[in-house]
Amino acid sequence: MPDANATLKLGNEEKSFPVLSGSVGPDVIDIRKLYAETGAFTYDPGFTSTGSCQSAITYIDGEEGVLLHRGYPIDQLAEQSTFPEVAYLLVNGELPSKDELDQFTYTISRHTMLHEQLANFYRGFRRDAHPMAIMCGVVGALSAFYHDSTDITDPKQRMIASHRLIAKMPTIAAMAYKYTVGQPFMYPDNSLSYTGNFLRMTFGVPAEPYEVNPVIERAMRRIFILHADHEQNASTSTVRLAGSSGANPFACIAAGIACLWGPAHGGANEAALNMLREIGRPERIPEYIARAKDKDDPFRLMGFGHRVYKNFDPRAKVMKATAAEVLKELGKSDPVLDTAQELEQLALQDEYFIEKKLYPNVDFYSGVILNAIGFPTDMFTALFALARTVGWVAQWNEMISDPEQKIGRPRQLYVGEPQRDYVPVEQR
Ligand code: ACO
């Protein structure tokens, strides 16, 4: 039942549309009948004022800097939970009991290996291929290897595909890394945690045992949890849009990976680290802040600002603490971290950033951490894709089970030529 109505006056006609209220957050005006009743569409490039679906997974209050997964604050999950537990929560809606978590962790561990034939697929890539290029290709190709979980009308197959995707992403990402550095692929070790297994597959070699450093393992776990889901962002909307046509889950997640690759989305942590390296030392910060404020200079402070957060990104706070922890553990003093901390402080006191509500986002410190752990910059987005797969899978499942779901098909404001007659080439 609608809670209220909104009235739209178009010409001399007034039409009323239901206003719907969620459990928390802004109301939405239900305009599904707008075109049928008025013959007009809405115009909203970038979907800044458009809710595309109902969802019970993630809630963000950008003004207050709040991020909740199934109601639980992100900082509590990052501090106290594990990645498989957060995955269970996102996909199933509730925190698991001990037995449920054990069963889920066991199920995920049974799916960590890749079909052996997929190793040949990797070998078709150039050694200098970007890991995201490999990830797009390999994840899309899973649909050619796991035919028994591509029938989206069967809930059991949907769940098997979901488990496979969550379980295989660390293996796929680690193999992409190993391939580009020319080292042998490492098979998963299911006795390790989700994160520990990933670290071993990435940095271990078959020639010697690999010991997982608990501080690095905790930092990675936090990074994975902080990236697990973020409501209807560009890549998640891409997954939903691809899925709305009935495409199989592996193809949908491959589409999400493609979208995430862009520098305005998943590529921003790489850009932030590059910027911090370019700044080099704290004395040069004012010059870069001045450039970021200059209307005639396209330069922006990477890792600052967010479409939704107009306050501190709650994930950035956890990242900042984790960066300091990792560098301490590794006994490294990194001028990049000093530059980041100083830049944050100066920008937050600057009128331009205060007025435009530009705060550090999740990407500002994550690059510093990943760099200290030893990941090359082009792996950063691949790690983001690994973690976000959980959110994509949860959102995809929610969409498929939603009786109101339809194929996604936006309309447009057409500004091209009206109808005209074809002219044969010799008469043009
Ligand atoms: N540095 C300097 N100025 C900025 C910055 C920045 N990082 N971000 C926004 N602004 C300014 C814009 O110039 C604009 O100024 P104006 O009103 O005078 O024209 C104003 O703030 C609003 O910016 P928009 O680009 O309109 O805001 P939008 O919501 O579209 O953009 C975005 C958000 C893309 C994240 C932007 O802040 C940005 O480019 N940041 C840097 C890239 C980045 O860190 N991206 C990561 C996002 S988080 C993620 O994907 C996980």
Of the pLDDT bands very low, low, confident and very high (cuts 50, 70, 90), residue 337 is confident
Strands 72-73 and 13-20 turn out to be: unpaired
Q: Is the pLDDT of residue 113 over 90?
A: yes
The pLDDT of residue 147: 93
Ligand 1 atom at shortest distance from the alpha carbon of 292: 2
Per the residue annotation, which of 229, 313, 363, 378 is the catalytic one? 363
**CA 306 – ligand 1 centroid, Å:** 6
Tokens 């909307």 identify what position?
A: 237
pLDDT of 51 above 80: yes
The residue type found at 395 is Q
- Taking CA atoms only, the protein residue closest to ligand 1 atom 37 is 305
Q: Ligand 1 within 6 A of 284 CB?
A: no
300 lines ligand 1 (CB under 6 A): yes
Q: How confident is the model at residue 265 (pLDDT cuts 50, 70, 90)?
A: confident
User: pLDDT for 10-40, tens place per residue?
Assistant: 999 999 999 999 999 999 999 999 999 999 9
At 232-251, the pLDDT tens digits run 999 999 999 999 999 999 99
Residue 324's pLDDT band (cuts 50, 70, 90):
confident
Residues 331-361 as b/e (b if ≥16 CB within 10 A, e otherwise) read eeebebbebbbebbeebeebeebeeeebbbb
The contacts of residue 85 (CB under 8 Å, 6+ apart) are: 95, 96, 101
> In which band, very low, low, confident or very high, does the pLDDT at 1 lie, cut at 50, 70 and 90?
low
**Global pTM?**
0.92
Residue (of 140, 176, 385) closest to 249 by Cα position: 140
Instruction: State the distance between the two ends of the chain, measured CA to CA, in whole angstroms.
Output: 59
Quick one: which of 243, 272, 267, 270 has its CA closest to 255? 243
Return the minimum-mean-pLDDT range out of 80-94, 219-233, 278-292, 387-401.
Answer: 278-292
Whether 117 shows a pLDDT value over 60: the answer reads yes
CB 248 within 8 A of CB 153: no
pLDDT tens string 145-194:
999 999 999 999 999 999 999 999 999 999 999 999 999 999 999 999 99
| Alpha helices, DSSP H, located in 70-213 | 74-80, 83-92, 98-109, 118-123, 131-145, 155-181, 194-203
Which residue's CA lies nearest to atom 34 of ligand 1? 264
Reported as a pLDDT band with limits 50, 70 and 90, residue 266 is confident
| pLDDT value at residue 269 | 83
What pLDDT sits at residue 334?
77
363 catalytic residue (yes or no): yes
pLDDT score of 332 more than 80: no
Residue 264 Cα to ligand 1 midpoint, Å, equals: 9
Tell me, in angstroms, the distance from the centre of ligand 1 to residue 359's CA.
10
Q: Looking at the chain, how many residues does it have?
A: 428
Atom of ligand 1 nearest to the CA of 305: 37
Q: Which of 306, 313, 338, 350 is flagged as catalytic?
A: 306
Is the shortest distance between the CB of 306 and ligand 1 below 6 Å? yes
CB 307 less than 6 A from any atom of ligand 1: yes
Ligand 1 mean position, distance from CA 293 (Å): 11
Residue 377 Cα to ligand 1 midpoint, Å, equals: 22
The percentage of the chain sitting over the pLDDT mark of 70, rounded to a whole number, equals 99
Ligand 1 neighbour 357 (Cβ under 6 A): no
pLDDT of residue 209: 96
CB 232 within 8 Å of CB 55 = yes
What's the mean pLDDT when you consider all of the chain? Answer: 94
